[in-house]
Every structure is written in C-alpha cells, then in structure tokens.
Amino acid sequence: MSDIITAERVAVLESQVEHLNAQMVLDRAERREEIGELSSKIDELLSLKHKGAGAFWLFGIIFGSGIIAAATAIVSWFKGG
C-alpha cells in the first residue's frame, strides 16, 4: 500500500516539476521579448539624444559665428534703433 502512495506522490511531483519547467520556459521567452523591446526603446532614446545634441551643436555654431548677431544688428539698424 505504501508503494502505491509513494508512486502517486512521485507522479504528482513529476507533473508539478514539468508544469514548473514549462512555466519557466514561457517566462524566459517573455523576458527575452521585454529585453528586446527595452533595447529598441533605448536605441530610440539615444538617437533622439544625438539628434538633440546635433541641433544644439548647430545652434551653437550659428550663434557663435555671429550670423544671428549680424541679422539682429541689421534689423535694428533698419528700425532706426
């Protein structure tokens, strides 16, 4: 009688282990998808950062070269100020 009970317990444990293994495989797949999504989002943020840095760099070059200052001086001169 105890052999039957032990065999039943072993069978239940085996099925639970199989279920847990299957769940772990699904969780790993979900994590990989999440990591892929996060990676693409980080890439997008970095590209936006670089575009923004490029815009500030361009503005700095234009402002530093005096183009904006010259334009405002001309407008001010035409206004008579």
What are the domain boundaries of the chain? 2-79
Share above pLDDT 70 across residues of the chain, in percent, rounded to a whole number: 98
Write the CB contacts of 62 (distance below 8 Å, at least 6 apart in sequence): 68
Give me the pLDDT at residue 36, please.
Answer: 87
Give me the pLDDT at residue 81, please.
Answer: 60
Give the single-character DSSP code of 81: -
**pLDDT averaged over the chain?**
85
pLDDT (average), residues 42-58: 81
pLDDT band at residue 19 using 50, 70 and 90 as cut-offs: very high
Residue with tokens 């979900």: 30
Side-chain half-sphere exposure of 32, counting CA atoms within 13 A: 6
Q: Which of 25, 53, 47 is nearest to 39 (CA)?
A: 47
Q: Does pLDDT of 59 surpass 70?
A: yes
